[in-house]
Amino acid sequence: MPLSFSKVNNNIIELQETYKKAQPFPYIILDDFLDATDAEEVLREFPKIAEAGWIHYLHINEKKHGLNKLDAIPDAIKTIIGKFNSDEFVNFLEELTGIKNLIADKTIEGGGIHQSERGGFLNIHADFTVHPHKSSWRRRVNVLLYLNTAWDKSYKGDLEFWDKNMTHCVTKIAPVFNRVVIFNTDETSYHGFPDPIQCPEHVTRKSIALYYFTEEDEGSFKKKATNYKARPEDGLKAILIWADKKAISAYTAVKRITGINDDFVSKVLHMFKKKL
C-alpha cells in the first residue's frame, strides 16, 4: 500500500508556491491523494466508535472521538499512518512547507483516527504548541486525511480557517473522501468545524490526523495548550469557551508534568455523553 507521490512530486515547485501564498496561513488541498483502491480499503476498515481504546473529547469546546492506540487500529489504517510517518513523506513535507528537520510523531499523540457523530463539532482554535510528553518538540505541521463519501453540504462539518484576529472565516474546506489538507500550525493558525454537524444518524465525519514537529531549545518558543477562540457571533457563549479553555490548559499542564494519558478523563467525560 504505497503512497502515490507522482502527482505531487512532478509539481512540487507549483505546490510550494500555492502553499506559501495561501491565506490566512500556509496550507494546501490535495484531492485523490491515496490510490483509489487503498482509500477504499482504509474506509472499509474504519472502525466504529467504541468504549474500549477510544478517547472521547466531550466538553464545551468539542464533541468528537479519537483512537490513537496503534495496537487497536486496523491494519490498513495502521499501514497508511506508517506511510505518512515515513522518511519519504516527511521529506515531501519539508520541501512543501520549507520547514526543515521535521519529526513525525510516531506515538500519534492527539492524532490518529478522529470521528464525529451527528451533533459533533470542534470550536475554532490554535493547536497546542508543544508535544505533551516531549518538551523540546514544537508543533509545526498538521496533515488531515478525510474519508467521507457522499458528504452533502447540508451536513456542515467544513474545516474552517479564520484570520489571526478572529474577525471572520477566510476559507472553508469540505471534508470529502480521499482529500488531504496540509497546513502550518502555530499560535494564530485558527481552525475547526464549530457548527454541529447535521449528518444522518448512521453517518459520521471521519478523518485521520497526523502531526509533525521540530526539536528546538525549550526557551525559543511559547508553550501553549490548545487555544480555543469564540467567533463574533458566539455572544455569551464566549464565556463558556474561555472557561473551558482554561480548564483544558490546566489539565494539559498536569498531563505534561505527570505523564498521564487521556484515558481516565475520557472515561469520565464519556459518562456524560448523553447530557452534552
Looking at residue 1, the DSSP 8-state letter turns out to be -
Domain locations in the chain as residue ranges: 6-271
- Number of helices followed by number of strands (H, E) in the chain: 7, 14
pLDDT > 70? residue 1: no
Q: Say whether domain 6-271 belongs to CATH 2.60.120.620.
A: yes
Query: What is the distance in angstroms between the CA of the first residue and the CA of the last residue of the chain?
Result: 39
215 pLDDT band (50/70/90 cuts)?
Answer: very high
7 - beta bridge partners? none
What are the pLDDT digits (tens) for 74-92?
A: 999 999 999 999 999 999 9
CA separation for the pair 23, 27 (Å, rounded): 8
176 in helix, strand or coil? coil
Question: pTM of this prediction?
Answer: 0.90
Taking residue 128's Cβ as centre, other Cβ atoms within 10 Å add up to: 21
Bond prior to 232 in cis (omega within 30° of 0): no
Which range (57-71, 104-118, 147-161, 260-274) has the least confidence? 260-274
CA separation for the pair 97, 23 (Å, rounded): 14
What are the pLDDT digits (tens) for 3-46?
A: 666 567 678 999 999 999 999 999 999 999 999 999 999 999 99
Task: Give the pLDDT score at 260.
Answer: 59
